[in-house]
Structure 1
């Protein structure tokens, strides 16, 4: 999944910054927002780790299986949480996409850093379409949203800013498209 080093480092920075902001969002007073932020932090940091350029760090072969296990567990958690809300279905698709990418990288010759010449597999194409649509929809939803006020009427804290949460999700969607394009 590794493309050119400069774009790889930009992707790492974007995903790590998004994961860090999602950790801040976990301080929200709303339990559902905390749960969603935790899953998004895992995705952000996992995407950052998977996007590190191969020239800087070539993960051991077992690392890809580790990614698959971690994101498989995240997919099961998202599936369980999907009983209460549709947004968890997006978390499920994202986690399964990460499992798919980890398995493809594990099966690739050279420890996951070779690119195949067989064209775009159907599943990769479907995931690309899904995430491209998600990016467009999320971007359209970024049109100004009034900030949520706290119970005392004070401005919302960093964890309760819906426009920042949407921007966070948008950046992770863009990063997912970029990662899928380099497969």
Structure 2
């Protein structure tokens, strides 16, 4: 993504750590949780790869279409899985956002080069789809943050395995939502 290097590295670290935790969650005894964790691990690692600052590594021209294909396939899988669980609708929006960002980034190097040398900037304002995704993920982050607040009168039950801790899964999803917001803001 285009933007300063330090926040880019922080975003890479956040997304990679989230992806790694989601891999741990794939060891859960609950099949639905394993499936969701697999999709979230793909998102976390994909976001980390896309967030590497371009000053350090400029991906080859084929990388952005490859991201679009991978996340397009993940979007189709999320669409299929949404029949059984509404949570997969969020996965669908997330993977579609990744496809959108990959397509935009595929065309960005020529624009960035022209803009650096006095070329015309894109039209005023934020593109409609970017704005809609920003609104969606802002709402998602706020809602996910509220869900992390402990409910009154709840106490910790028995010890749960790392892959089965719902509060950590929610924190993982919140982190990815924040990462998605940061990536969309750099578009």
- TM-score norm. by structure 1 comes to 0.92
Among 134, 141, 149, the residue aligned to 2:147: 141
What secondary structure does 1:53 align onto? coil
Contact 1:12 1:51 in 2 (8 A): yes
Consecutive unaligned residues of structure 1, counting only runs of 5 or more, are: none
Consecutive unaligned residues of structure 2, counting only runs of 5 or more, are: 116-120
Aligned length: 179
Map 1:1-183 onto structure 2 (within 5 A).
Answer: 1-110=1-110, 116-118=121-123, 119-144=125-150, 154-183=158-187
Cα deviation digits, residues 15-70 of structure 1 (max 9, x gap): 00000000000000000000000000000000000000001100001100000000
Q: What is the aligned-residue RMSD (CA, Å)? A: 1.9
Q: Distance in 2 between matches of 1:112 and 1:95?
A: 25
Q: Distance in 2 between matches of 1:69 and 1:160?
A: 31
- CA change 1:113–1:31 in 2 (3 A) is farther
- TM-score norm. by structure 2 comes to 0.90
Q: Distance in 2 between matches of 1:111 and 1:61?
A: 14
Q: Distance in 2 between matches of 1:166 and 1:182?
A: 25
Contact 1:2 1:52 in 2 (8 A): no
* Higher Rg of the two aligned structures: 2
Q: Distance in 2 between matches of 1:130 and 1:142?
A: 18
Deviation at 1:108, TM superposition (A): 1.8
Contact 1:2 1:113 in 2 (8 A): no
What secondary structure does 1:37 align onto? helix
Contact 1:104 1:112 in 2 (8 A): no
